[in-house]
Structure formats: structure tokens, C-alpha cells
Amino acid sequence: MAYAALGDSYASGIDAGIQLHPTCWRFSDSYPMQLIRTGLLGRNHAFQFLACSGSVMGLVGGSSSRRKSISAQIKSLKTADLVTLSIGGNDARFFDVLNACVYRFYGTKSGNCNERLQESVKIISDERFEMAYNWVLDEIMAKSGDAPHFRIMALGYSPFFDEALTEDCNNQSFGFWSMSKPKLTVQLRRQLNDISAHLNNRIAGIIKDRADEKVIWVNWAPKFKEHLFCQPGKPASDGDSTWFYDADFRSSNSTSNEIDIETCMQQTLDTGDWGERAACGIAVVQQDYPHMMAQGSGTTLTINRYPNQPGLARVFHPKPHAYAVIANEIRNHWPFISLETDMLEDSQAP
């Protein structure tokens, strides 16, 4: 059985386990790697791990088209029986939303939260989003669609905050800088959850409209329901019980001198890498306000050499045990599970 994993950082698995690729942030406990360990593919499987952090579909006429396009992954794709796909979050400018509304890495240059939210909704709703997503599916199908049991497992994303939306988190903040700490109000949490839900509904609707049994929608979000930020009566981020990473990167070591302030904003926009973009923003603020302190750092901030910073790139991404849940959800949606089990048993027979 041949399997290929395509997509963005949700597929590459930033900071989940051991790093396998230095620029695409592929990790050993990503959901593609954990899917292999479920035994779904059998012993004699082939695997292409093509997913890359920062990847986009590249909307026609959109600014994201100059960043990493998934077309490069599709070009490298060999004939497969199974392709998993996570794409769309960068096109919807998730990082811009989180930067403006939650972290404020760029300080006063982070943008207006409401404007970023509106832009994201507009992009997702635009017919160009549907055209781009269908193009990606069509291109993958052109590579392997004739295989008898070929399937594309299309994955979405998840709300980030507990759906109860209690007031427990109203005075808490994930803001990076001590002087700029947006509160996690009920309204903000609802707006951020709505963006994720809108994106999932959009992708699910595109797949439904195709009416193609070879493209299967895998909605793993319900499995995360009890493990989101701001659970009632608990801290905003509650250790292993919370299945998304917050910012475990506020430290006072190393240096930011490796970042070229004059060029990093455009360069990191081109790559789309969340870690590079966050590191650039931090460096820009440090240049403008050299005595600015990060929230909870207790000292003037310096940051590790960029761009090799999974701690920056992994914010609002699943943790390793959460990726295991996603991998099992993919396995549960594989329509030939009984056939694969029989084949595996036959291969192990004396």
C-alpha cells in the first residue's frame, strides 16, 4: 500500500516528537507518522512525507500565492493508494488572525483584530477558495485517481476554545508582550472558534458538492471537544489536558542578531512559516523598543536563532497525543479497513 501525506504545518506536525526535516518542520509524531504506526498500511508500504509548514493552495489573485504552494508537493507525488490532505489554514491567514487578536508578536504593527477576522471570513467565503481547493483535489486525482482503492482523506481544523465559552478566561491573555495583552474574552473566543468552524464547513461543503466517493471528509474536531483552551474552571492552557500548544518560548537566552530587520517581514511572508514570522515580529519590536519585556519573562527578551524555532511555529498546533487521535480518526474513515486487515493477516500466515 502506498501512502502520501500532503499539506501544511498541521500535517507536518510541528514540534511533535523528533524533527525529521529542518525547513518543512516534519516531525516523528505528526499524524501521518502515527497513522503508519496504527498498522493501517501493512508491512510492505511505501510512504511519501511531503507536507510542509507554511504551505498554501495559492488563491488566484491572492497575496498568499507567492508563498509555498502545495503544487510543489503534488508535482513530487507518486502513485498512491491513500493521500491525506490538510490545507487551507494559511490561505485563510490563520497566523495573521492569531497575531492580531491573541499574541501581538509585532506589537503595534500586528494589525487590527476585527479587520483580520473579517478578511479571513471573506477569503474562506470567496469562490476562489473553492476553485483552489477543487484544483488541489483534481491535481491529486490526476496522479493516482485511477487506482482501484485510491482515496483522498481531506482533513480540516478545529475550534481552539472550549465551546461553553464561560467567563473564566475573560481576564487571561496569551499576549506575547507584557505591555500588549489582549484578553481572551467570551466575544474573542467565539469569533476565533467561528473562523475555524467556517473553514471546516467550507471544506466539507466543497467535498460534499463533488459527490466523489474517492474524496472523504475527516472531521476530527469533535474528538478535541474536552481538550481545548479555556476549559471551565481551569487555566487557559491546562497542561497535557489541553491538546493545543500555547507559547512555550518566552525565554531570556541567545540573541536575535541573526534576523535582518530590513528584509524579514517580506521574506517571512513569502515563506508563510509561522515561526519565522513570529520571530521577525519579535525582532522588529525589540529594535523599536529595546527594553520591552515578554509576558512572564522577568527580563529583557532575547530569542533563539531564527528560523529554527519550533516553539514559535507550533502555537495553536496539536500536541503529539492529539495527533494520535487524528491518526485514529483517519483510520476509522478508511473504507477498506476489513480488506486491509485480511491482507495483513494473509501476509503473516505461515
If phi over 0 gives left and psi between -120 and 50 gives alpha, with beta otherwise, what is residue 17? left
pTM: 0.87
Does the pLDDT value for residue 13 go beyond 70?
A: yes
Tens digits of residue pLDDT in 221-236:
999 999 999 999 999 9
Tens digits of residue pLDDT in 135-174:
999 999 999 878 888 999 999 999 999 999 999 999 999 9
Mean residue pLDDT of the chain comes to 86
Tens digits of residue pLDDT in 102-141:
999 999 899 999 999 999 999 999 999 999 999 999 999 9
Percent of the chain residues past pLDDT 70, beyond the cut: 83
Task: Kindly give, in sequence order, each residue whose CB lies less than 8 Å from that of residue 56, ignoring residues fewer than 6 positions away.
Answer: 8, 64, 65, 67, 68, 69, 70, 87, 90, 91, 272
Helix (H, G, I), strand (E, B) or coil at 21: strand
Tens digits of residue pLDDT in 254-292:
335 567 777 787 776 766 778 788 888 888 888 887 776
Output the pLDDT for position 91: 95
Using pLDDT thresholds of 50, 70 and 90, give the confidence band for residue 246.
Answer: confident
Distances (CA, A) of 97 to 121, 255, 313, 343: 11, 27, 14, 46
pLDDT greater at residue 271 or residue 30: 30
Architecture category of domain 2-226+318-339 in CATH: 3-Layer(aba) Sandwich (3.40)
* C-alpha neighbours within 13 Å on the C-beta side of residue 125: 9
SS3 content of the chain, % helix, strand, coil (to 5): 45, 10, 45
Does the pLDDT value for residue 44 go beyond 50?
A: yes
In this prediction, residues 3-26 reach a mean pLDDT of: 94
Cell of 262: 530590513
Tens digits of residue pLDDT in 286-342:
888 777 666 654 444 444 433 445 677 888 999 999 999 999 999 999 987 644 544
Tens digits of residue pLDDT in 171-219:
999 998 877 789 999 999 999 999 999 999 999 999 999 999 999 999 9
Output the pLDDT for position 337: 60
- DSSP codes of every residue in 57-107: ---TT-GGGGS-BTHHHHHHPPP-SEEEEE-STTTTTHHHHHIIIII-TTG
Task: Read off the DSSP letter of residue 160.
Answer: -
Output the pLDDT for position 308: 44
In this prediction, residues 95-99 reach a mean pLDDT of: 95
Output the pLDDT for position 301: 45
Cell of 128: 476562489
Burial of 302 (0-12, 13-18, 19+ CB in 10 A): middle
